[in-house]
Structure 1
Amino acid sequence: MYTGKTETACCLCGNPDIETRIDLPPRAVPLLKHSEAIAWRDIVGEVSIYFCESDWETVRDLVLETGMSPLSRCNVAHASFDLREDFEALLNDIRDEPDHSDLEREMRESATKTLSNPEDPYVDERDLVEARVVTWAFDDTLVESET
């Protein structure tokens, strides 16, 4: 049965009262805690992780002031994403492995644009945190700059 992507609890503490969401490329899943059993190549679209108010403050400080990624502490059980098998079950059809190249290019370009102009009035702290975490995820998974 296809359930679709849903809002989940804080990926750090499990608190259901979430404040902030950031979206990641599927290849960031192996960087999350307890992700061994998930085939990230079967994820369709972005992966969303959520934070409660107090954990968001910690993550914001960790990323913007300390320059560290929170992903290794984020429990993948609280991440939200769609798997190819869910779509196959819904449509009774076998699908090819998802091609993440367009999504990854868009996410990389958006992160670069955000980080190159942090003083833009339309860029907030959440955007900066997401851009840095996305950039680090690409760096940590050894993604070449051109795919």
Structure 2
Amino acid sequence: MYTGKTQQPCCLCGREETAVRMDIPPRAVQLLDNSGPIAWRDIEGDVSLHFCDSDWETVRDVVLDAGMTPLPRCNAARADFVLREDFEALLNDVRDEPDQTPLEREMLADAERVVDEYDDPDALHSERDLVEARVVQWALGELGHWPTA
């Protein structure tokens, strides 16, 4: 029986009650506060950051009004992600690192589409979608190379 928490705390203030989730590529964990000990190459899937109402307003303003990324202020210890299981220790076998390029490529393509379509009333993208898209674009750009098609 699972008895752990089902809700993630706000990655900025730690408040338990959150209202908004934003997903970033695994490589972007490097840009978060306290990320040093995390083996980001072992993350499987995307990384979710959760925000309480008041911190989401701040994140929204930082991204949309100031044109800055909030990631350096987000605590990696409060991020939600899955690390691959340590079969190497269990089976004395070495596994390849997960190839995160397809995920990054998909997340970047989705982000570009959201940014391009945001002003189109038929696209139905929310402000949250735009904030997430810009953060994904900035994170992958800052990390040095863009996923290739």
Same fold (TM over 0.5): yes
Q: Give unmatched runs, 5+ long, in structure 2.
A: none
Shift of 1:7: 3.6
Rounded to whole Å, the distance in 1 between the matches of 2:27 and 2:108 is: 12
State the TM-score, normalizing by the size of structure 2: 0.87
**1:128 corresponding residue in structure 2:** 130
Backbone CA RMSD of aligned residues: 2.6
Q: How many residues align?
A: 144
Partner of 1:36: 36
Note if contact 1:33-1:72 (Cα within 8 Å) is conserved in structure 2: yes
Q: Comparing both chains, which one has the higher relative contact order based on Cα–Cα distances under 8 Å and sequence gaps of 6 or more? A: 1
Secondary structure of 2:19 counterpart: strand
Pair 1:129–1:3, CA change in 2 (3 A)? farther
CA distance in 2, matches of 1:5, 1:47: 17
Q: What amino acid maps onto 1:15 in structure 2?
A: R
What is the TM-score of this pair, normalised by structure 1? 0.88
Letter in 2 for 1:146: T
Aligned equivalent of 1:105: 105
Question: What letter corresponds to residue 126 of structure 1 in structure 2?
Answer: R
Deviation of the 1:118 alpha carbon: 0.9
SS of the residue corresponding to residue 85 of structure 2 reads helix
Pairwise CA distance, 1:95: 4.0
Structure 1 residue identity aligned to 2:109: E
1:138 aligns with 2:101: no
Spell out structure 1 runs of 4+ moving beyond 3 A. Answer: 2-7, 91-95
